[in-house]
Amino acid sequence: MNSIHEERKDLLKTLFEQRPDASLPSGLRKRILKEIERYETIRQRRRQIFEITVVVSASLLLIVMAGFVLYKLDVKLFSRELWKENAIYLQIGIIALLLMIGDQFITSKLSRHHK
């Protein structure tokens, strides 16, 4: 049996050598690349949705936690003193939010430009 595996110069080998190759159909290459492009677009979109979901969930969690703390400490949310004392935090929050929106905007613009 070993001779079969070591020595390929036999009738079948000769016939397989003469057998015409199945070449890749012309349209198939294009279809494959199109399919890959479609897959990549879906993957990117999924990743974006995942990132946004994480950010939104984290923000909501923080808001809920803040609400809970304020409720527990019995802090009046609409009192003037509270807003005056914590104005700096509000400003930081607004700046962070604006930066995040800006980042999202620039990223989507750049990826569209790249394509």
Partner 1 sequence: MTQDEKTYHYIERILQNHDIQCFTYIVDQYGTQLYSLITSIVHNREDAEELTQDVFVKIYEKLGSFRKESNFSTWAYRIAYNTAISHTRKKTHEYLSIDEGLWETISEEELSQSLETQNRCEEQLELLDKALTSLSENERGIIHLFYKEEKSVEEIARITDTSVSNIKVKLFRSRKKLLLQMKQLEKQNQI
Region 23-82 residues binding partner 1, contact defined as CB under 8 A: 23-25, 28-29, 31-33, 35-37, 39-40, 44
Which CB atom, from 99 or from 109, has the smaller least distance to partner 1? 109
Helical H segments across the chain, by residue range: 2-6, 11-18, 26-73, 80-85, 87-114
Asked whether 55 and 100 are in contact (CB, 8 A), the reply is yes
Task: Name the 3-class secondary structure at 55.
Answer: helix
Query: Of 15, 72, 78, 81, which one interacts with partner 1 (CB under 8 A)?
Result: 15
Asked whether 75 and 82 are in contact (CB, 8 A), the reply is yes
Least distance in angstroms from the C-beta of 70 to partner 1: 44
Least distance in angstroms from the C-beta of 43 to partner 1: 8
Which CB atom, from 42 or from 100, has the smaller least distance to partner 1? 42
